[in-house]
Structure 1
């Protein structure tokens, strides 16, 4: 089994040595980084919350819509990854969705520039006197909220896979993912500062126009760099193979188990027959699935040979499904980590709108720009962890920090961020009661909004640990045929977490009354305490899953053949 997984990190068995040398000679070491200008243009998700305010959507309703849209942009990568893994490969999918993203930004620019496409701006946020959008304006809004996230979501994680495909060694792939997230967050920092400043002080049309131009430049650079990329050709839908293994296992449920590897089918081609030495006997876990590769008389063809069918699968296909089954519990424990992203990204803006945002006598921080502290903290954390903390850990412990350990640290810090948010909101509400500001929307609470920076920084540090660790774990542990899907699984986690945050906000609003449109009359602190408790329970579940998980890749980050343990 060890030889098999080491083999998976290399080029496909169908690549001849000559072709391999040609590919290596054409492939630059930093092939994935040529898409950096495109990554810096990913400003869509940060602009959508402001667009909702421009359409006079109620604060809590805007929070729900914002989270749903972000969740959709996280689900779209799954569709893109399936298409990439099954049919076209990474590059065509990234290029297509990048073009769709460009169309979305052009649509947003037109919406911001043409007054008739949006209602008059409301001066007092949360007031019942604000003019609601017309049917046409609603249609334009939802077209913006559909078209642009489709393009953005279809590129964000598929481009991560395309970049990782440029490297063979797990250590280099892990480093790439860290720098990919660093570049992604830096791009978002730019959009949260420079772009929002332009939108607030010059005009929304110019702000979205800059985003459209950056998207266009990124698309051009992406296409021009085509000749530098290693293009991994898909070999058909891997999901059909997974389905065949499940069906074949059920159909052969009454067949007795074989005792030796010669009773199992490894494939009819010479390349697959060579894998017999690598794979050896089937693994002992999930033995029921081994039946799918068990050769029986009913599987023999007229010429006496065997072929893949819905009754007989290769041992490699069986082991690929086992890999997915093993990692599902770890994956499910990460769902809750996406929930604070939706809560902090929306409710923090509502908090900031009610607080003193002045930085000195003449400068006032835009409420939507507070998320920049989270993005900066994440970017700095990724850089610090990858360049200082991980080497120091390895020198001290004599072992690298494993992906699971990195994810676990992210869980703990995530809980601390929610506790900090609860304490700060408790203090804010105390000031509201002291100055009797309840029931008066639009009034500023005499408390500095800079207090919100602390939990934003803490959760940024959490993201710096668990996101790169998660995508590295999935990319290295998923079957080779599902590499694009492996990176998209992180996006799926975030998407489910965002939907969960929307559901949580909705249920909390209906059952408790903690979240009125004027949050000065609510109990937002109780929401954060509830999330902290749920996070603690979820961390216990993660520890149980991590204890049972065994790495299938035996190379550590120094490429030494030593088994990794949580």
Structure 2
């Protein structure tokens, strides 16, 4: 499979076009492979975390699910902090490299807790009425391992993606990289949720975790191999500082009248930007005061001397762009929150059903989530190879990013509805089954439809969000755009923790034993939230005015991979 780079900018380096094409193909391949191996290493411990905490550390199931959601939230939120550090000081490559090493160290510590028996409490027995809790030292070592693993994954996840996106100037080529990077991510997670989770559940926790650590080390080596091929963008300082200056300057000049003459605004280029805004737009016009030139703001050479009182017109417009996409960011958070709750609760549901497939094989409870990743991977291929070409042929155009996200909303909302119906059936069967009969509990196959629907929704909304924000964010925030999507997922996991905590405090829906609760009502609430959020998203999408495009591509796919 080769990457068509004919549309890439010529002459940007002394390498020559032919050599640059070769480097682009190598970078594309190595970054996707490294991303896939990092995902495999991550899923090797993260996907089994709930079961490991319950079985080996004697944690309460709901508390274990909360730790799982907290870890997932941090892994999704930390990329934004990593992106800011990369943009401001070090660049993507150093941040991703150090993060890979930190992740390896964290997984190694988790592996030690599974290998050394003194690092975990004695296992509960069938005769034990009260299970031994982990000591302070045991808990501390476990939490340090989880924290380092989370920090490493969070620091490398989107800095690798941003480094890949920085290799290409053409939007279609970037879109292709996003698609295949997401494909590699799902393949890695799928492999971890099947092979590694089976090793941990059926062979040895220690072996499974050490394999994850080894895969992490392989990912690090693959990533380093491409150092000479990558295009390294020099950090330009934190773009968020300039945005903060716009807000401060607009407040300081709040009493000034807003002129209509372009000469009254400071529009000189302060960096390497190619675009120059001469007159700020009327939208959010109170921010325009930050670019009004007043006495003492510039020196005799026309350069800014009071940076917290005067900003460029482009900086003002950058802040307006960020504010403009904020409502859609909020919608993304509300979209991901039900998924976060469903992920952890489905693992607990799986522990209550018959997971046997055939006479001798039993699916580990944590492995049921592989169906989401597998469905997403299959549908990404279907969307890219069949659905989008069909749309192009029949309608003459490809679906926009927001249309793709909207389809994802619908499928995820349907997933919550099916989750509620299935859980209601499971509860009815568990409460009304004859204890003297030889009837088996509900089959794990009943959980598959809800996971498939969410997987289809992920295939539509996640790449759509990623490409939308990368295109719509200001030029100064391009490197942070991919991490923002991860941050919305992270906030969603935090919200899921708060939501589950609220359900436990205010209701009896989520007791320690799910058979005595009403998880189906929780799913109905999530479906209602999804329906409300979908209406909010439609309103935001209709009101949003996209940034002027520099080309005619408005979809994730379209790059030629052959």
User: TM-score w.r.t. structure 2 length?
Assistant: 0.91
- Of 498-507 and 294-303, the range deviating more from structure 2: 294-303
Range with greater deviation from structure 2 (33-42 or 411-420): 33-42
Give me the whole-angstrom Cα distance separating, in 2, the residues matched to 1:304 and 1:85: 27
Matches of 1:268 and 1:137 in 2, distance apart?
56
Change in CA separation of 1:271 and 1:229 when aligned onto 2, cut-off 3 Å? closer
Aligned residue in 2 for 1:364: 362
The alpha-carbon deviation at position 48 of structure 1 amounts to: 2.3
Matched position secondary structure for 1:41: helix
Are residue 137 (structure 1) and residue 135 (structure 2) matched? no
Q: Contact 1:411–1:539 (CA<8 Å) still a contact in 2? A: yes
CA RMSD after TM alignment: 2.4
Question: In 2, are the aligned partners of 1:295 and 1:312 still within 8 Å (CA)?
Answer: yes
Show the counterpart of 1:3: none
Question: Residues of 1 paired with 2:281 and 2:14: CA distance?
Answer: 34
- Asked if residue 401 in structure 1 is aligned to residue 399 in structure 2, the reply is yes
Match of 2:506 in 1: 511
8 A contact 1:37–1:217 mirrored in 2: no
Q: Which residue of 2 aligns with 1:97?
A: 99
Q: What's the CA shift string for 1:107-136, capped at 9, x where partnerless? A: 1221111111112333569x8532211222
Shift of 1:22: 4.0
Report the equivalent of 2:559: none
Q: Larger deviation: 76-85 or 47-56?
A: 47-56
Residue 75 of structure 1 is matched in structure 2 by 77
SS of 1:29's partner is: helix
Cα distance between partner residues in 2 of 1:436 and 1:550: 60
2:410 matches 1:412: yes
Decide which moves more: 336-345 or 285-294. 336-345
**Residue 312 of structure 1: CA displacement?**
1.2
Residue aligned with 2:442, SS? strand
Taking the TM superposition and a 5 Å limit, the aligned residue runs for 1:96-175 are 96-122=98-124, 128-175=129-176
- Unaligned 5+ runs, structure 2: 1-6, 556-562
Which deviates more, 280-289 or 36-45?
Answer: 36-45
Match of 1:440 in 2: none
**2:29 corresponds to:** 33
The answer (yes or no) to whether the contact 1:268–1:307 under 8 Å persists in 2 is no
Aligned to 1:298, the other structure's residue is in SS state coil
Deviates more, 1:262-271 or 1:58-67: 262-271
Contact preservation (8 Å) 2:357, 2:363: yes
Map of 1:485 onto structure 2? 480
The equivalent residue for 1:351 is: 349
**CA pair 248-41 structure 1, distance change in 2 beyond 3 A:** closer
Distance 1:88 1:120 in 2: 45
* Counterpart pick for 1:446 among 438, 441, 453: 441
CA distance in structure 2 between the partners assigned to 1:444 and 1:287 by the alignment: 69
Question: Residues 270, 517 of structure 1: CA spacing in aligned structure 2 closer, same or farther, 3 A cutoff?
Answer: closer
Output the CA distance in 2 between the equivalents of 1:505 and 1:436.
31
Query: Residue 52 of structure 1 aligns with which residue?
Result: 53
Kindly report which structure 2 residues correspond to 1:107-506, keeping only aligned pairs within 5 A, or say none: 107-122=109-124, 128-267=129-268, 275-276=275-276, 279-302=277-300, 306-307=304-305, 309-435=307-433, 446-506=441-501
SS of corresponding position for 2:24: coil
Larger deviation: 246-255 or 220-229? 246-255
User: Deviations for 1:476-502, whole angstroms, at most 9, x for unmatched residues?
Assistant: 111122122211111111111111111
Distance in 2 (CA, whole Å) between partners of 1:132 and 1:498 is: 26
1: distance between equivalents of 2:51 and 2:345? 13
Provide TM-score, normalisation by structure 1: 0.90
C-alpha distance 141-128 of structure 1, shift in aligned 2 (>3 A): farther
**Is residue 246–residue 311 contact of structure 2 (8 Å, CA) maintained in 1?**
yes
- Secondary structure class of the residue paired with 1:166: coil
Task: Please give the secondary structure, in 1, of the residue aligned with 2:441.
Answer: strand
Partner of 1:530: 525
Alpha-carbon distance change, 82 to 305 in structure 1, aligned in 2, over 3 angstroms: closer
- Counterparts of 2:59 and 2:505 in 1: how far apart (Å)? 19
The CA deviation at 1:182 is 1.2
State the Cα deviation string for residues 500-544 of structure 1 (Å, max 9, x = none).
111111111121101111111111100100100011011111111
How many residue pairs align between the two structures?
538
Q: Tell me the CA shift for residue 340 of structure 1.
A: 2.5
Unpaired stretches in structure 1, ≥5 consecutive residues: 1-8, 12-16, 438-442, 561-566
What is the rounded CA distance, in whole Å, between the counterparts of 1:329 and 1:10 in structure 2?
Answer: 33
| CA distance 1:303–1:320, change in 2 (3 Å) | closer
Structure 1 Cα separation of the partners of residues 168 and 452 of structure 2: 32
Q: Structure 1 residue 229: deviation in Å? A: 0.7
Q: Is the contact between residue 279 and residue 313 of structure 2 (CA under 8 Å) also seen in structure 1?
A: no
Q: Aligned residue for 1:563? A: none
What is the rounded CA distance, in whole Å, between the counterparts of 1:328 and 1:10 in structure 2? 31
Asked whether the 8 Å contact 1:85–1:483 carries over to 2, the reply is no
Q: Write the deviation string for residues 112-167 of structure 1: whole angstroms up to 9, x where unpaired.
A: 11111112333569x85322112221112211221110101111112111111111
- Rate the CA distance shift 1:534–1:234 in 2: closer, same or farther, 3 A: same
C-alpha separation in 2, matches of 1:548 and 1:114: 58
Distance 2:439 2:32 in 1: 40
1:95–1:525 Cα change, 3 Å: same
The answer to whether the 8 A contact 2:280-2:313 is kept is yes
Query: Partners in 1 of 2:111 and 2:503 — Cα distance?
Result: 36
User: Are the structure 2 counterparts of residues 249 and 183 from structure 1 closer, same or farther at C-alpha, using a change threshold of 3 Å?
Assistant: same
Q: Give yes or no for contact 1:411–1:466 (8 Å, CA) kept in 2.
A: yes
Q: CA deviation at 1:50?
A: 3.2
**2-structure distance, mates of 1:214, 1:49:** 21
